[in-house]
Amino acid sequence: MISVQKKYEVFAKSDSRYFVVSGGRASGKSFNVSILVLLLTFEKEHVILFTRYTLVSASISIIPEFLEKIDLLGLDEYFYVTKD
């Protein structure tokens, strides 16, 4: 069972449109936020946008993180992933 750290649960319960997430190295930001964002993709009326300055930087940071969570939660059948 995968669970979100208690300090990040506020994101799942809030109606806010934007969040700023900060914290030190190994604070769980990437893990917890990517799990929460992945779960939001199954709810109506959410638009999810990941951005980085270049596709190269996204391909070594955001994309592998998200793909890992898809696999970790066993949700591969719901996503079609391309290289771009």
58 in a structural domain:
yes
Residue 10 lies in a domain: yes
For residue 19, the enclosing domain spans: 6-78
Within 10 Å of residue 3's Cβ, how many Cβ atoms?
Answer: 9
Helix axes 29-40, 62-72, angle to 10 degrees: 70
Sign of CA dihedral 65, 66, 72, 73: positive
Averaged pLDDT, groups of 10, the chain, 84 residues long: 78 80 81 86 81 75 87 91 72
Query: What pLDDT score does 58 carry?
Result: 76
Q: Say if 84 falls within a structural domain.
A: no
The reported pLDDT for the residue numbered 1 is: 65
